[in-house]
Amino acid sequence: MENEKKIGNGKLKVENGENTFSIFNSQLSTVIKADKLTKRFGDFIAANEVTFEVYAGEIFGFLGANGAGKTTAMKMLCGLSTPSSGNATTAGFDVYRQTEQIKKHIGYMSQKFSLYEDLTVIENIQFFGGIYGLSDKHLKEKSNELIETLGLKNEAKKLVASLPLGWKQKLAFSVAVLHEPKIVFLDEPTGGVDPVTRRQFWDLIYQAADRGITIFVTTHYMDEAEYCNRISIMVDGVIEALDTPANLKQQYSATSMDEVFYKLARGAKRSE
Amino acid sequence: MRTLKFLLRKEFKQIFRNKGLLPMIFVAPVIQLLILPLAADYEVKGINISIVDHDHSTYSQQLISKVTASGYFQLADYGNSFQGAFKQIEKDKSDLILEIPQGFEKNLARESHEKLFVAVNAINGVKAGLGGAYLAQIISDYNNDIRMEWVQQLKFNPIPQIEVTSSNWFNPHLNYRFFMVPGILAVLITMIGAYMCALNIVKEKETGTIEQINVTPIKKYQFVLGKLIPFWIIGIFIFSVGLFIVARWVYGIVPVGSLLLLYGYMSLYLVALLGLGLLISTFSDTQQQAMSITFFFIMIFMLMSGLFTSIDSMPTWAYYIARLNPVTYFIEVVRMIVLKEAVCRHQKSFPDHGWFCCVSEWFGNLEL
């Protein structure tokens, strides 16, 4: 089985279940650009001169062992934490000066479930939609549509606390992309979720990518890493490798991403 | 504005859904207001007294019956040995010893002069002080009585006497509740302000939802307002329930001063206290932590606010601490306006609240 998908100015090829992502145009548009981005906490360098680019429409896997500095890098890109040095833009906005603008154009979902458990499904959707500035009419359409797609019609008026974890995570993702952001940051979104739900979760991710939303995802599941167009692997605050999963396997003469990750992360000195 | 609307809507929904918080907000204050003013009473009654009578005379009997008839004292022990009476104090059965010496009547009649001995168990300072004072008053009364007797007998010209009469203003019947109810109302508002606000914000930290809020375009001031406004409204609501329902119908207290001034002052005070809650929330990561810190502040605020003990009689250093305490001013203001019809120029406390507001809000904002 083979099919091709155009993403931005790049091309995603799925061959025998393997993704290859190739850039055939040098004018590929960049949504995240990090240049020697560094964050120090005292003597500790959490992220050391991190340099990479993420292109519009791709699914970018951001991998690394615990304590490698993924979350720190991600927080800087979201405008939550100010870098110590280096430059970066997210959705075209500067991470030092335009954090408000960045926040308007990104979605975010963390490993910790962070919708309001004491609000109902529909109230959560309306709250987050509302604060992103969706109009009442738009909000109503969107929330109905979302509840329909997620199959939560009977649960719409139930408190989120009563939903199973997998459903909560799917809901959280859908809420994070409700305002059609340019990029959505997912911080270990599938932690603790069963394989079937994880698969469904990734279907949602692909749907969002089809709509042109760039996905920036961190994960510890190597099968999920294979779903990404390109991945970077961070070790001790530095990006050690960055390429498509297929190229990485070739480069490290490994049969699986597991092996690639192991070869790279084995040398790590830091751990949580 | 639209963002704030969504924040407020969410906040109110959460508050009204919180089964733990609702009783705290709406039931606890009423219960406290019903119980505390009745229980926390300065008037000391039923002081146990041991009388050691070495004289057994008519005069000593008269004195004893005067003491026991006063209503303040209960005769715990009557004997003729001081050791025996002291045992009673040691066993905590008696608070006071009045020792009447031998020859009390004789010396009084012959030399117009006699000394009585009073020993007080001073473990409970208030009880000891008041008991001693009551007893001294009764004895001096008694002294007058017998003097009058003799004056009449001797048909002398009356000895000039200075008699003190007093009239009680603002609380003519010296009703202790009139003093306590406004104070307790003030404390209730303080609790709501600091506790609820701190707990609510820290809860968002605990559940991680604050992280989600941080990546949204919600601005800091919007988030802070979204947290403060609901508790500000709830605070005013509780104050009104306390003042117009409980204080009025249960204790018969009708505010004599300007309600506008009272509410204006309270609104400002609540902002200061909510600011404190905000400040505490920035220093705590869990609700337990927030509780402990708030508890620490509330304890100091309560005990150093003049709610129970007058701040004028505190040592100088403590007086200045009490003067920095916003609760002190609020209790004062509520008492003055409710009981005394005070007007704005009587209040020297606006600058104090001003600084408190500024400092706590500023820090709160900065840390969040």
The size of chain B, in residues, is 368
* Shortest Cα–Cα distance, B274 to chain A (Å): 23
- Residue A19 confidence (pLDDT): 55
Q: What is the pLDDT of residue A232?
A: 92
Which domains, from first to last, does chain B contain? 2-40+172-367 (no CATH), 47-154 (3.40.1710.10)
Are B209 and A110 inside 8 Å of each other by CB? Answer: no
Across the interface, of A104, A112, A130, the residue whose CB is closest to B6 is: A130
pLDDT, tens only, B283-304 = 888 989 999 998 898 888 888 8
Confidence of residue A1 (pLDDT cuts 50, 70, 90): very low
Across the interface, whether the CB atoms of B212 and A108 are under 8 A apart is answered yes
Most confident stretch, A201-215, B86-100, B255-269, B311-325: A201-215
Among B10, B209, B215, beta carbon nearest to A106: B215
A and B: number of Cβ contacts within 8 A: 61
Out of A112, A126, A133, closest to residue B211 by CB:
A112
- pLDDT above 90 covers what percent of chain B? 7
More confident residue, B322 or A13: B322
Sorted by sequence, the CB contacts under 8 Å of residue A262 that are 6+ apart come out as none
Would you call A127 and B208 a contact, using CB atoms and an 8 Å cutoff?
no
Question: Between A110, A128, A132, which is nearest B208 by CB?
Answer: A110
Tens of pLDDT, residue by residue over A158-193, are: 999 998 888 888 899 999 999 999 999 999 888 888
B contacts of A133 (beta carbons < 8 Å): 2-3, 217
Q: Collect all residues of chain A within an 8 Å Cβ-Cβ radius of residue B214.
A: 80
pLDDT (tens digit per residue) in B337-357: 887 766 655 555 555 555 555
Q: Chain A residues with CB inside 8 Å of B211's CB?
A: 110, 112, 114
User: Cβ of B10 and A103 within 8 Å?
Assistant: no
Kindly report the nearest CA distance between residue B7 and chain A, in angstroms: 8
Q: Please state, for a pLDDT cut of 90, what percent of chain A lies above it.
A: 37
CB-CB contact of B318 with B304 (8 Å): yes
pLDDT score, position B72: 81
Strand positions, DSSP E, chain B: 47-53, 73-79, 96-100, 117-120
pLDDT confidence bin for B161, thresholds 50/70/90: low
Q: CA angle B111-B116-B119, nearest 5°?
A: 165
Residue numbers in B near A114 (CB within 8 A)? 207-209, 211-212
Residues of chain B in contact with residue A177, where contact means CB-CB under 8 angstroms, are: none
Whole-number Å distance between alpha carbons of B156 and B170: 42
State residue B50 phi and psi, 5-degree precision: -110, 130
Closest chain A residue to B209 measured between Cα atoms? A114
Q: Are B73 and B67 in contact (CB under 8 A)?
A: yes
Q: Which one of B7, B215, B223, B285 makes the best mutation probe of the A interface by having the most chain A beta carbons within 10 Å?
A: B215
What is the rounded CA–CA span in Å between residue A184 and residue A172? Answer: 12
What is the length of chain A?
272
Most confident listed range (A171-175, A253-257, B71-75, B301-305): A171-175
Q: How far apart are CA B161 and CA B164, in angstroms?
A: 10
**Residue numbers of A between 194 and 233 with CB closer than 8 Å to B:** none
CB contact under 8 A, B14 and A112: no
Minimum-distance CB partner of B3 among A108, A131, A185 = A131
The alpha carbon of residue A207 is apart from the nearest alpha carbon of chain B, in Å, by 22
A37 band by pLDDT with thresholds 50, 70 and 90:
very high
Of A184, A93, A186, A180, whose CA–CA distance to A134 is shortest?
A180
**Which residue on chain B is closest to A127 by alpha carbon?**
B6
Reply yes or no on whether the pLDDT at B366 is more than 80.
Answer: no
pLDDT tens-digit map of B163-212: 666 666 766 666 677 778 888 888 888 887 888 888 889 988 888 888 88
Instruction: Give per-residue pLDDT as tens, A112-164.
Output: 777 899 999 999 999 999 999 888 898 899 889 889 888 888 888 999 999 88
Task: Kindly state the helix (H) or strand (E) to which residue A15 belongs, with its residue range.
Answer: strand A10-15
Which option is the CATH number for A27-116+166-265: 3.40.50.11540, 3.40.718.10, 3.40.50.300, 3.40.50.150?
A: 3.40.50.300
Query: From the centroid of its chain, how far is CA B16?
Result: 31
- In this complex, is the C-beta atom of A60 within 8 Å of any C-beta atom belonging to chain B? no
Task: Name the residue type at position A236.
Answer: D
> Model confidence at A26, in pLDDT bands (50, 70, 90)?
very low
Distance from the Cα of B209 to chain A's closest Cα (Å) equals: 5
Of residues A147 and B333, the one with the higher pLDDT is A147
Confidence band of B102 (pLDDT split at 50, 70, 90):
confident
Report the residue from A78, A79, A127 with minimal CB separation from B6: A127
Q: Is B216 in Cβ contact with A132 (below 8 Å)?
A: yes
Amino acid B134: pLDDT: 83
Q: Which two tokens stand for residue B290?
A: 């927030």
Mean pLDDT, residues B64-83 taken together: 84
d(CA B139, CA B66): 9
The yes-or-no verdict on residue B216 having pLDDT over 80 is yes
CB contact (8 A) between residue A118 and residue B214: no
pLDDT at A15 over 80: no
Residue A80 neighbours by CB under 8 Å, 6+ apart: A99, B214, B215
Does residue A224 surpass a pLDDT of 70? yes
Q: What are phi and psi of B195, to 5 degrees?
A: -60, -60
pLDDT on residue A2: 45
pLDDT tier at A25, thresholds 50, 70, 90: very low
- Whole-number mean pLDDT of chain A? 85
Residue A9: per-residue pLDDT = 47
pLDDT band (50, 70, 90) for residue A59: very high
pLDDT value of residue A27 = 52
> How many C-beta atoms surround the C-beta of residue A119 within 10 A?
21
Which residues of chain B from 191 to 250 reach within 8 Å of chain A, CB to CB? 207-209, 211-212, 214-219
**Is A104 in Cβ contact with B217 (below 8 Å)?**
yes
Q: Which of A129-138, B67-76, B107-116, B166-175 has the lowest mean pLDDT?
A: B166-175
Cβ <8 Å between A116 and B209: yes
Distance between B212 CA and the closest CA of chain A, angstroms: 6
- Between residues B283 and B153, which one has the greater pLDDT? B283
Tell me the per-residue pLDDT of B230-265, one tens digit each, with 9 for 90 and over: 999 999 998 898 888 888 888 888 888 888 888 888
CB count within 10 Å of CB A53 equals: 15
Interface test with A, best of B2, B6, B206 (most A CBs within 10 A): B6
Contact A103 B216 (CB under 8 A): yes
- Contact criterion met (CB < 8 Å) for B214 and A80: yes
Least confident segment among A73-77, A160-164, B17-21? B17-21
Burial of A100 (0-12, 13-18, 19+ CB in 10 A): exposed
Q: Which residues of A touch B218 (CB under 8 A)?
A: 131
A residues 67-126 closer than 8 Å to B (CB): 78-80, 100, 103-104, 106, 108, 110, 112-119, 123, 126
The lowest-confidence range among A72-81, A135-144, B1-10, B314-323 is B314-323
* Domain range summary for chain A, segments of one domain joined by +: 27-116+166-265
Kindly list the residues from chain B whose CB atom is less than 8 angstroms away from the CB atom of residue A110. 208, 211-212
C-alpha distance from A101 to closest chain B C-alpha (Å)? 8
Tell me which chain B residue has its CA closest to the CA of residue A186: B212
In this prediction, residue B101 carries a pLDDT of 86
Measured between CA atoms, the residue of chain A closest to residue B214 is A80
pLDDT at B35 over 70: yes
Q: What is the mean pLDDT of chain B?
A: 80
> Which is more confidently placed, A239 or B343?
A239
| pLDDT at B170 (0 to 100) | 67
Between the CA of residue A143 and those of A139, A173, A202, A257, what are the distances in Å? 6, 13, 21, 38
